[in-house]
Each structure stands twice: as structure tokens, then as C-alpha cells.
Structure 1
Amino acid sequence: MALLALSKCYYLGNLDQKVFLNEIKEIIHFHQEHHNLTRLAYQSAWELLIYTLIGEKFYEQVIVIELHFVRETRRELEELSKCVDWKRKKVEREKETKEVIVLMRWLNSLEFFFRFCSFWNEEFVGLFGNVVQLFRASSGNHREIRGECIDFFREAAGNKIMKVEGLLKGGAIDAVLEEISQQSLNEDNKICCFSFFLELSERLQEEKEDEKEEAKRKVFDKMEEEGLDDCIIMFHHFLLEEELPFSYPDENLECYFMPL
């Protein structure tokens, strides 16, 4: 109960991370060794770290590398998924089971984490895959979880640190394509799916520009090695006059969401 209450401390804002970081780290490490916490308590400990420490690379690396965030999250999602009766219809559920509640809390925390995370880790690909599995398992009778999975993919695609190749390998792109092909898709989910692909197109353009800049740098380095200073100056003037091949026609997103 204490961890559940503490997990909402981010509402207070501007907490001193040093006050609780070491203690929460010890709690998480102890649970990883002895499994002494309930699933809700364990998720609450992670939520406290994520909502209060995310956005600072040092603390993010503590979360991901030192505390093994991806490994632990994947394990929790897999175990929780096994405890959910995916075939049980909503009308048959008087209230959600505690496993469903914790799953939703994990997905909300992941959305926040991937919205603000400031570095890429290859382990993220496997985590995308776990969320895709949840997405497909919930397709029949748990539309709320399915919707949260799509929100998670949209947040990840909108983060400039995330790699398009990682989203592709993890199955996120296929999952959103599956969702957008549903005839019963409501307007909010349509907008979420379209937003995902708009963010994806921006990531592709940025990666293309990064590759272009890397190619330019290699040309400059080669010229400098060979002492071709005059060529460097001419090449530099050429690049400054080059027209960019891509531009957005309108920043107003309404033009992208016309009825199909």
C-alpha cells in the first residue's frame, strides 16, 4: 500500500530524486532476488521511478541498465498475460481482475517512458514484441488493453530516439496495420493509428537526413586527408545551395484525417 501511494508522488512535482532513488533501487533488487512483493506493489515501485526520473539520461540508464527494466517488464507482462481470461466477454465481467488492472498500469507507464526516453537500447525491440502479443491476445474482448497498446506504439514512434527498424522488428508496424484494417474502429483509434504513421514518416525522413549528413561528413574527411582544401570549399558552397527534397504541405493535421 505504501508503494502504491508513493507511485503517485509525481503529482507533487519537482521531487528530489536522491531522497528515494537508493531506497527504491534496494526494494527492486531485493524483489528480483526474493520475489517478496505483489505484482501491484512491484509495478508501483517501477512507476515511481519512471514518472519522476524519466527525461534525465543518467537516471534512465540506471532504470534500463542497472535495474534491468526491459527484462523485468517483459517478464511481468508475460506472467500477467497468462493469468488473464482473454475469452471472457466484457458483459461477463462485473469488475476487472487485478491482473488486468496491473497490466493497464504497466502499459500506461510504458507510454510515459517511451514518450520521454532520451536514449535507444536494442532491448526495446523485444519489449515491442511483448506488447504486440498483448495486443493480439486482447483483440476479442479487451478493447481497452488493445487501445492502450496502440497508444504505446504511437508514443514510441513519436520519440525521435526510437528507431524505425526497431519498431518494424518488434512487430509494432504490423500491429497498427491490423488495427487500422478493423471495420469497427472508432474515430479516436483511427486518429491514433494515423498519428502513428505520421510520426513514422517523420522518423524515416530524419533517418534519411542523418544518413545524408553522414555521407557528407565522410566526403569532407576524405578530402581533408588528401589535402583538397579548394574542393572542400566548392563542395560546401554546393551543399548550401542544394534544395531539400521533402517538405510538409501543411502542419495542420486535419488535412490528414479526412474521411476515407
Structure 2
Amino acid sequence: MEEFIDGGTEDRNREMAPKEKFSKLFDELKSCSVSEQKEKIEEMNRLIGFSESSLYRRFEEMIVDEEQKKEGKNEKLLIDLIECYLLLDSRFCSDLYPICVPCLLKVALKKEEDEETQKEVEMILLTLSNVGYIPGEIYLNEIKEIILHHQDHHNLTQLAYQSVWTFLVHRLCSDFSTEIVIADELHFIREARREVEELSKSVDWKRKEEGKGESEEKEALVIWRWLNVIDSYLNSCRSWNGELVGLLCSIVQVFRASRDNYFRIQLECLNSLGKAEKNKAVKIDDFLKSGAIGLYLEEMKQSTLVDFIIVVSLSLFNNISERLKEEEDEKEEKERKEMKRKIFEMMEEEGYEDVIAGFHDAVSFLNEKCYNELSLNISDYFVNP
């Protein structure tokens, strides 16, 4: 997508009237890949407010009517209605869960590896990834079956595999009982890292004058979607995992690769690292070993920093400083002192105290502009040995 790469289309679209913009997006749907169609449909929904329209209620009525038919039920029509309904808005009526989700999962559980089935399953899983809250362990066995079968047979496309993880991980924020399944049985951290690194190899991170091909755009978009679901996991996980440092390392690598031409991916990398830094299930040592702290030090010295990156960087060091001041048991005290020494030496070598001092006068402005609560005390950002 053009706007995904350089933001140019987005700027031009702002100048269009909503009706004209909607028509343009609608016309573009027929020539888009599946992943791009979802992006355009979501943008169209923002223009018309689908959930507030009579069409939204009509879709609900049609889905219920078709599902309740005792004779002559059209399964294909029911699937199409559900796909349109869920892709246009994820906040669907909870009464429709027992209709929509099982109907989609029935198709998603297909094991055939021919191209037509792959495309069908990809669209179904992409639709499921747009579903919001799913209570408890409902449909967990079906999702496990899809993921485990792919890990053994590699029958899903990259987008489909990412989508099924999105459907599963998004429930973690309200149902922590699934964390053991996600991390230990299905190995989310290992899988996410491998997929991101594999996709990164296929993206030409250096911008070409003639633009990029559709395959490159799709792979970059799937990386962004992986970072989004990683963000959700790091925001909600409660247990430390030894593979976390490798995942953080991959995020750092993607950030560096995307720095010049993929600003949207760059920001999502920072979102994921920010969620990890606030989560005490992630150790500060993980940030040090992965290169994340070094990355933030590099960014703070750039002359072209945007406000969001400044806020995220300041917040990181503020939180690390606070965490290193917390009381630890005797066994961990030695490790904590060694950690503080290493970080202090890095900050001193990079001249970080001078850099932070240069931003200090702007903290109040940044707090107001970015709705943040950065400390006004400059010493809160320093780590002393």
C-alpha cells in the first residue's frame, strides 16, 4: 500500500471529501490483495460509521435468518455475510458469537493445501483476527488444532498464520489462564520471532525510486501485524520466558531496518518495546542483552527525533531507573548492582546525561502534546551505579 510505505496517499486522501474518498477506496478493492482489502475496508468503515448504520443491523438480521433455516441453508452465503459483517466492524453483538465464530472455524479447520483452500482459510482467519473479546477458553481447542497442524505441516500462508495468533493472543488481556497454552504449548515467542525474521528477509528495506511491488508491501504489512500482536502479548504476559531476549532482539533489528522508509513499522517496534519495558515479567537484563537499551541511547542522540520517539525514550529510562531502585532479595542484589553499573557505563559513554538535559525543558510540552506523564525531575532519568 502506498500509504503504508511513504504516507503520501494518506496526505492526499485527507484533502478529499468523505464521499469521494469512500468511492475511491471502494474502486480499489477489486485490485487489492486480501490483506490490503482489510485495510481499505477498515478505512471505509471509519468514513461511514458502519456500527451506527441501519446496514449493520440488517447484516445481523440476515445472518440470524440464514443460520436458523431448517431447509435450504446456504453455507456459502452465511460465510460471506459473516465475513462482511466482521471485517466492517469487530464490535459485533455477543449474541452472534455462537453463530459467527463456529461457522468460521469450521472452514478454518480445513487441512487441504491446494491454493484455493489456502486463500479461503486465509480470508476466514483474517476475519477472525478482527474479532474482539472472546471470553474464557471458548474455541481454544480449535485454535490449538489449527496452530499445531501448521507447525507440523506448514499449510497456512504467512498472513493466515499471523491472523490465527491474533485471534488467540488478544484474549490474553482478559483471560490469563491461556498464557501457559500460548507460551509453553504453542511457543508463541519462538514462532513470532521466527516469522518476523523470515519476513524481514523478503522486504527490500531500501526504498526504490520506482516504488515497491505488491509482494514486498504484503510482507511488510504482515510484519506490522506481527508486531501488533507481539505488543498485545508483551502488554499482558505475567511470566518471564527465556526466549524473550531473542524476541526483543528481533524487534530491535526490525526497527533499525525500517528506520528510513517504514515509519509505521518503526513506531510499532517502539510500542512493543515500550509494553515490554513496563511489564515486570520482562527483565531489565533482557533489554540490555537484546540491544534495546543501546537502541534508545542511539535514538536520543538523533537530531530528527519526532515527539513520540522522544516520549517513549524518556519513559524507558524513567521506568528502568525506577525498577532498579526497587527492593530486591539478597540473591538478586548483586545482579542489580552489576546491571546498574553496565547501564551507567553505557549512558556515560554515549553522553546520555547531556542529551537528556537538552530535552528536559521540553518535558512539560511533550506531556501536554502526547498525553503522557513524564517526570519533571531530571534525576529520575539517570541510573547511578
Give the TM interval when normalised to the shorter protein.
0.7 to 0.9
AA aligned opposite 2:258: S
- Contact preservation (8 Å) 2:148, 2:186: yes
**2:275 counterpart residue number:** 155
- Contact preservation (8 Å) 2:137, 2:178: no
Tell me the SS of whatever aligns to 1:53. Answer: coil
1:165 to 255, 260, 285: 285
**2:376 counterpart residue number:** 255
Offset from partner CA, 1:183-223 (integer Å, 9 cap, x none): 111111111111111121222223xx0236988xxxxxxxx
- Contact preservation (8 Å) 1:167, 1:173: yes
Residue 7 in 1 paired to residue 129 in 2?
Answer: yes
- Contact preservation (8 Å) 2:274, 2:312: yes
RMSD of aligned residue pairs (Cα, Å): 2.4
Structure 1 CA distance for aligned equivalents of residues 275 and 209 of structure 2: 27
Q: TM-score, normalised by structure 1?
A: 0.76
Moved over 6 A (4+): none
- Contact preservation (8 Å) 1:134, 1:149: yes
- Contact preservation (8 Å) 1:53, 1:60: yes
Residue 211 in 1 paired to residue 332 in 2?
Answer: no
Structure 2 CA distance for aligned equivalents of residues 184 and 3 of structure 1: 39
**2:157 counterpart residue number:** 38
Structure 1 CA distance for aligned equivalents of residues 138 and 209 of structure 2: 42
Alignment length (residue pairs): 217
Percent of aligned pairs sharing the same letter: 46
**1:184 counterpart residue number:** 304
| Residue segments in structure 2 that go unaligned for 5+ positions in a row | 1-122, 334-371, 379-385
AA aligned opposite 2:142: E
- Contact preservation (8 Å) 1:8, 1:48: yes
Q: TM-score, normalised by structure 2?
A: 0.52
Given the superposition, is the C-alpha separation of residues 186 and 58 from structure 1 closer, same or farther in structure 2, using an over 3 Å criterion? same
**1:25 counterpart residue number:** 144
**1:73 counterpart residue number:** 192
- Contact preservation (8 Å) 1:89, 1:141: no
Given the superposition, is the C-alpha separation of residues 191 and 81 from structure 1 closer, same or farther in structure 2, using an over 3 Å criterion? same
- The worse-fitting range, judged by mean Cα deviation, of 153-162 and 55-64 is 55-64
**1:99 counterpart residue number:** 219
> Aligned runs of 1:50-61 on 2, under 5 Å?
50-54=169-173, 56-61=175-180
Structure with the larger RCO, 1 or 2 (CA within 8 Å, 6+ apart):
1
Given the superposition, is the C-alpha separation of residues 256 and 25 from structure 1 closer, same or farther in structure 2, using an over 3 Å criterion? farther
**2:182 counterpart residue number:** 63
Offset from partner CA, 1:83-132 (integer Å, 9 cap, x none): 11100159835877110111111111111111111111111011111111
Structure 1 CA distance for aligned equivalents of residues 172 and 235 of structure 2: 13
Offset from partner CA, 1:125-177 (integer Å, 9 cap, x none): 11111111111111222222222212211111111221101111111111111
Tell me the SS of whatever aligns to 2:305. Answer: coil
